[in-house]
Structure 1
Amino acid sequence: MDLNTISAVARPQSRAQMPVWAAGDAWLAGGTWLFSEPQVHLTRLIDLADLKWPALTIEDSGLTIAATCTVAQLDALACPPDWPAAPLINQCCRAFLASFKIWKTATVGGNLCMSLPAGPMISLTSALDGVCTIWKADGGEQRVSVADFVTGNQRNLLAAGDLLRQIDIPLAALKRRTAFRQISLTPVGRSAALLIGSVSSEGALALTVTASTVRPVKLAFPSVPGAGELRDAILHHIPDQVYHDDVHGKPAWRKHMTLRLAEEIRSELQGQARP
C-alpha cells in the first residue's frame, strides 16, 4: 500500500546519524505490516537498512539475532550440532504460515515489536531466554528479557523513539532439549496456542506459554513435575483474564488447549530429563 502522507525518508548509517524522533515518525525494517494498511498519522520513515547490522552472530556466549534479521535468514541458519534446541528455530518460523515473500521481508524484531499474542518470534525468543537490547530515544540502552518486553496484546516496553536493536540467546538455553506444540482454530489459521517446553542437563523443566495468552508466560520447575502439579501451576499462574479473546479462539478453548498441550510436552520431555 502506498503511504501517501510520507514526505521524508531518513537513512542513517550509524546510531550517531539517527534523526531526533518526532511525532509522525516510524521505523522501517521489513515493512510487511507498515505497508499493509493506511498509516495516515505518519510523515517520515527512518529506514534501518543502511545500518547493515549482521543478521545472525554465533559466539561462545550464544546467538545474537539482529532486529532486522528476516525470517528467511533465521530459518536458514546452520546451527552448531551441539545445540539440541535448534529445531525450535525452524518450527517457530513455520508457525508464521506466511508466503515466501513475507519470509524474505518480515523481520524478527518487527514480530516482537508488533507484540501480537501469536507472534512466533516472541514464542521462540522468550522460550530460549532471549534478552532484548533497546536503544533508548535519549541515547541510553536498556536490556530486558523478551518475556518482560511484551506486556500484552500489541503492547510492549518501547516508548516513543525507542528502537529494538537485537535479541541475545544464551548458549545454555540452546543446549536444552525441547518440545514444541502449536494449534490453530483452522488448518491454516493464526496460532491459538503455542507452547514450548525445555529440559536442562540438570533435569529442570521450563514451560513457555504463548499465543493462547496476551503475553508470554514462563513457568519453571526444578524437575519434570507430575501431571497434577503442572496443571495446578498453569491454573495458578495464568488467570482467566490473561487468555486472549479474538476470532482465532475463545479464552475457554485456549485455556483447555494450553492445559492439553502442556501435558503433551510434559510427557514428551519426561523421558529426556536426567534420571
Structure 2
Amino acid sequence: MDLNTVLDIRDASRHEPWRPGDAWLGGGTYLFSEPQPHLRRLIDLSRMGWEPVQILPDGSLEIAATCTIAQLSRFGRTLDAQAAPLIEQCCRAFLASFKIWNMATVGGNLCNGLPAGPMISLTAALDGECLLQAQDGAHRRVKVADFVTGAGRKDLAEGEMLRSVTIPARSLRCRTAFMQVSLYGLGRSAALVIGTLDPADGSFAVTITAATTRPFRLWFALPPDRAELRTAITTAVGDGDWFDDIHGLPEWRRHMAFHLAEQVRRELTLDGAR
C-alpha cells in the first residue's frame, strides 16, 4: 500500500533528530499493509549493518531487530542446542508467504505487539530480553514478557528503538514443547502454548500467547501437577486478558489454552512418559 502522507525516507545511520510523524522502518510488512495517516517520515534501519543472529561469547543468542524470519529460520536449522527446534516451529507459526518471510523482521513482529506474533511467543518462552535504545543513545533492557503490554501495545518511549533480543544460554539448553491451535485449518494462531524444562534444576515454565492480549510466562521451581498448573493460569490470567477477535472467542481461547498447557506439561514431565 502506498503511504501518501510520507514525505521523506532517511537512513537511520545519519542520526537525525526524531520528530513527530517519524517511524522506524524495518521490513515494512506492517507499515505498508494499511493506512498510516499520522506518518510523515520513515527512518530506515536496513543499512545499519547489524549481524542478524549470532551466538555471543557467554553462549547466549542475540537476534538483531532487523533479522528477517527467513534468516532466523536458516540459523535455527543449524543451531546445535536442545531448544533449536522451537525456532523453526515458531517461524512456521506465521500465517505468511515466502515474500513476507524474506522481509518481515523479528523486531517488527515484537513491536507490533499482536497477540498472534510468533516471535513474541518464541522469545518470551525462552526468557528473552529486549535491548532498547533511546534517542540520546541510552540503553535499557526489558524482558520480552514485559515488553508487550497488551494487544498492539509495548513498552517503547517516543523515538525509542528495539535494537535486539537476547536469549540466555541456559534457555537454549532447555527441553521444549510447542502446541498451537487455529480456528481455521490455515488460520492465524488462536492459542499458542510453549513449555520449557530446564535440565539444570528441573524448573518448568509455560508461556501462553495468541489466546491472551499479552504474553504470560509462568515459572515453577518444579513441574506442577495438573491442578497446580490450572490454578496458576487462572490466577495469572484475568477474565479481561483473553483476546477477542474473529479468530476466536475469549471463552474458546481460554479453554484451548488450558488444554494445550496440560498437553505441554505432560509432554515434558513424567506424566507424559510412556
Q: Distance in 2 between matches of 1:130 and 1:143?
A: 10
Q: Which residue of 2 aligns with 1:5?
A: 5
Which AA in structure 1 matches 2:261? A
After superposition, where does 1:1-275 map in structure 2 within 5 Å?
Answer: 1-13=1-13, 17-61=14-58, 62-77=60-75, 78-81=77-80, 83-201=81-199, 202-271=201-270
* Contact 1:75-1:90 within 8 A present in 2 as well: yes
SS in 1 for 2:235: helix
Q: Distance in 2 between matches of 1:85 and 1:212?
A: 23
SS in 2 for 1:244: coil
SS in 2 for 1:241: helix
Please identify, of 33-42 and 246-255, the stretch whose mean Cα deviation from structure 2 is larger.
Answer: 33-42
* Contact 1:199-1:272 within 8 A present in 2 as well: no
Shift in alpha-carbon separation, 1:173–1:79, aligned structure 2, 3 A: farther
Query: How much is the aligned-residue C-alpha RMSD, in angstroms?
Result: 1.3
Q: Could you list the runs of 4 or more consecutive aligned residues of structure 1 that deviate by over 2 angstroms after TM superposition?
A: 78-81
* Contact 1:177-1:272 within 8 A present in 2 as well: no
SS in 1 for 2:55: strand
Shift in alpha-carbon separation, 1:124–1:198, aligned structure 2, 3 A: same
Q: CA deviation at 1:93?
A: 0.4
Shift in alpha-carbon separation, 1:137–1:272, aligned structure 2, 3 A: farther
Q: Distance in 2 between matches of 1:84 and 1:26?
A: 37
Q: Distance in 2 between matches of 1:216 and 1:111?
A: 13
Q: CA deviation at 1:170?
A: 0.6
Which AA in structure 1 matches 2:5? T
Q: Which runs of 5+ in 1 are unaligned?
A: none
Q: CA deviation at 1:188?
A: 0.9
Matched residues, percent identical?
55
Shift in alpha-carbon separation, 1:271–1:52, aligned structure 2, 3 A: same
SS in 1 for 2:24: strand
Which AA in structure 2 matches 1:10? R
What's the CA shift string for 1:100-123, capped at 9, x where partnerless? Answer: 000000000000000001100000
SS in 1 for 2:12: coil
Q: Distance in 1 between matches of 2:78 and 2:221?
A: 28
Q: Distance in 2 between matches of 1:214 and 1:175?
A: 28
Q: CA deviation at 1:271?
A: 3.4
Q: Distance in 2 between matches of 1:52 and 1:138?
A: 20
Q: Distance in 2 between matches of 1:102 and 1:147?
A: 25
* Contact 1:129-1:169 within 8 A present in 2 as well: yes
* Contact 1:60-1:171 within 8 A present in 2 as well: no
Q: CA deviation at 1:24?
A: 1.1
Q: CA deviation at 1:272?
A: 9.4
Q: Distance in 2 between matches of 1:249 and 1:137?
A: 39
TM-score, structure 2 length as denominator? Answer: 0.95
